[in-house]
Structure 1
Amino acid sequence: MLQQIYPQVFHNYEYELNKDMQFAAAHFVPHKDAGKCQNIHGHTYFVNVTVAGNELDESGFLINFATLKKLVSGQFDHTLLNDHTHLFNDQNHNDFPTTEVVARKIYEIVQAHLDELPNKPVCMQVFVRETPTSYVVYRPKQVKHNG
C-alpha cells in the first residue's frame, strides 16, 4: 500500500492509532442522477481508520490492528456492497453505498465495537479512497471525549 498523509483530526487524547487497509468490492448507486455509477462496478478501496483514547487495554493496545482489519476488510472484501442489506439499501439516499455512506458505515461499525471495550477508545475519523483521485473523510459531528 502506498504511504500517504491523511487529514488530521485534532484532539486531546494521549494515544492515536491509525490503521490502513484495503478491500476490493463492487457496488452500484441506485439513483438516476448517479450516471455510470448506476451500473455495477468495482473499486479497490483504501481505508484509514483513526482511533484515539487515553487508556490502553490489557494487551497494551487501544485496539488490536487485526481487529480493525477484520471489522472492515474482513466484512467487505470481494463482496457486492449492495448485498450488505443490514447497512445499505436502495430506498433511502443516506444508505446508498456511495463513498460518503461507506465511510460513515465503517465509522459506525468500528465505533460500535469500541463502545464494548473497557478502555473506551473512540473512532475519530474514517478516510475512504475510492479511486486514485477521489476520497471522502467522515468525522462524526460530536465525538465522545473522555479526555
Structure 2
Amino acid sequence: MMLQQIYPAANHPYQYELNKDLHFAAAHFVPAEEAGKCRLLHGHTYYANVTVAGDELDAAGFLVNFAVIKQLIHTRFDHSVLNDDTESFDDVNPDRFPTTEVVARTICEIVQKHLDGTANRPQCVQVYLRETPTSYCIYRPKRKAGSHVG
C-alpha cells in the first residue's frame, strides 16, 4: 500500500532528508487511572513516518537504507503487545508507558542507536506516529550540544 500523506516538516540544517513510511499492528494498554478505557488491552494499526537527515552518504550512496529502518521497527513491534517489550516500556514510570508519545520517542531512539553505529552518522530528526485515523503524535529530539543548529 502506498501512503500519500504530507507530514509536518522537521526543521534541520542538513543537506539530505530521507523519509520512510511503515505500519505495524500492535496491542497496548496505558496503566494509568487517567487513561480511562485505554487502561484496557486494545490494539491499533500504527502508521509511522521516520525522518532521517544528514550531510554525508554511506558507501552505498544512502543516508541509511530504507529497509533497515523498516526492519528495526516492524520486526520489533508488529503483532506484539507493546507492554511486553520491557526494554522499551514499563508499567510503573509514566515516561515509559506505551502511549503514542512514548512509542514515537522510542522509535526515534531505536533508529538513532542504529545510526550512531554507522560511518556517516545521520540523525533521526522526527518520528510521526498515527495511532488512529484521527490521532497522531510527532516526536522531535532536542539537538545535542555541539551539533548543527537549524
Query: With structure 2 as the length reference, what TM-score do the two structures score?
Result: 0.94
Say whether 1:108 aligns with 2:109.
yes
Q: Distance in 2 between matches of 1:56 and 1:96?
A: 35
The one-letter amino acid of 2:57's match is: L
Q: Distance in 2 between matches of 1:67 and 1:146?
A: 27
Q: Distance in 2 between matches of 1:136 and 1:28?
A: 17
Per-residue CA distance 1:64-103 (angstroms, 9 max, x = gap): 0000001111110000000000110011000000000000
Say whether 1:16 aligns with 2:21.
no
Name the counterpart of 1:52: 53
Share of identical aligned residues, percent? 64
Per-residue CA distance 1:10-65 (angstroms, 9 max, x = gap): 22211100000000000000011100000000000000000001111001100000
Partner SS for 1:35: helix
Q: Distance in 1 between matches of 2:4 and 2:132?
A: 15
Q: Distance in 2 between matches of 1:31 and 1:137?
A: 22
Name the counterpart of 1:34: 35
Query: With structure 1 as the length reference, what TM-score do the two structures score?
Result: 0.96
Q: Distance in 2 between matches of 1:104 and 1:112?
A: 12
Name the counterpart of 1:125: 126
Name the counterpart of 2:71: 70
Could you tell me which runs of 5 or more consecutive residues in structure 1 were left unpaired when the two chains were aligned: none
Q: Report deviation, 1:120.
A: 0.8
Q: Distance in 2 between matches of 1:142 and 1:57?
A: 22
Cα 1:120–1:146 change in 2 (3 A) is farther
The one-letter amino acid of 1:35's match is: G
Partner SS for 1:88: coil
Q: Report deviation, 1:146.
A: 8.8
Could you tell me which runs of 5 or more consecutive residues in structure 2 were left unpaired when the two chains were aligned: none
Q: Distance in 1 between matches of 2:148 and 2:129?
A: 24
Name the counterpart of 1:145: 148
Q: Report deviation, 1:145.
A: 2.6
- CA-based RMSD of the aligned residues comes to 1.3
Name the counterpart of 2:135: 134
